Amino acid sequence: CANANKVAKVIYISSNKAVNANCTYGCTKLLGEKLILAANQNSIFTKFIVFRGGNLLASEGSVIPLFKKQINEKHIVLLTDKNMNRFFINIPKACELLIESAIRGAGGEIFLARMSSLWIYDIAKFLAYKYGLDESVIVVTGLRPGEKITECLAMEEETNHIYCVNDELYVIETEDRHSWIKNGVIKKDNNFLYHSQDAVISYEQTAEFLKAANI
């Protein structure tokens, strides 16, 4: 439809759940990425681009609304594992980077947002304190089947092809003939923290991050 109507660009909003997908949601996101990138190869007019984000802070159905509901209703927070960490981005920043990717994208790229990783336990602790409680209300229940302790923003084979667009936006570009690479518009970044375990911030930083997002 996009090609038939000569739409300039199609931006697919993916998720880091597409990386090493082990659930239905992640598999559909991975399949979506593959279809979009394949479409770009076969397209004459329309440019197809992927934006791979992380967990949207306080989005509907996510961990923060869930923890708030548990605190309000039962004065407890149920946490599956104390060592769990996840990449987070606030909604305004995700929108900003999505629009920037749409503007910059020339077709066939996978854009990545630079994100901080938070301990889920620290989020639970922050919310407990906010509601006048302490850490004793956090109950560890054990991992559920298929649940990951950590997560990644890129697959192993993609990590050698990550380039820096600016301080907040990166791109996976496996085609070395891309004009951005030739002209030095983007620079290879071998230090991009794509694994959540390597990008975890402190509790104090987490508290500031959540306060800045009006959590």
- Rounded to whole angstroms, the Cα distance separating 190 from 163 reads 8
Tell me 144's DSSP state: P
Q: How many CA atoms lie within 13 A of 125 on its CB side?
A: 12
Strands 169-172 and 162-164: antiparallel
Tell me 5's DSSP state: T
Helix pair 203-212, 120-130: axis angle to 10 deg? 60
* Token pair in block for residue 198: 């390597």
- Rounded to whole angstroms, the Cα distance separating 161 from 173 reads 6
Tell me 89's DSSP state: E
Q: In the annotation, is 82 catalytic?
A: no
- Rounded to whole angstroms, the Cα distance separating 3 from 124 reads 46
Of 39, 59, 48, 63, which is closest to residue 11 (Cα–Cα)? 48
State the catalytic residue, choosing from 6, 17, 69, 82.
17
Active-site annotation, residues: 17
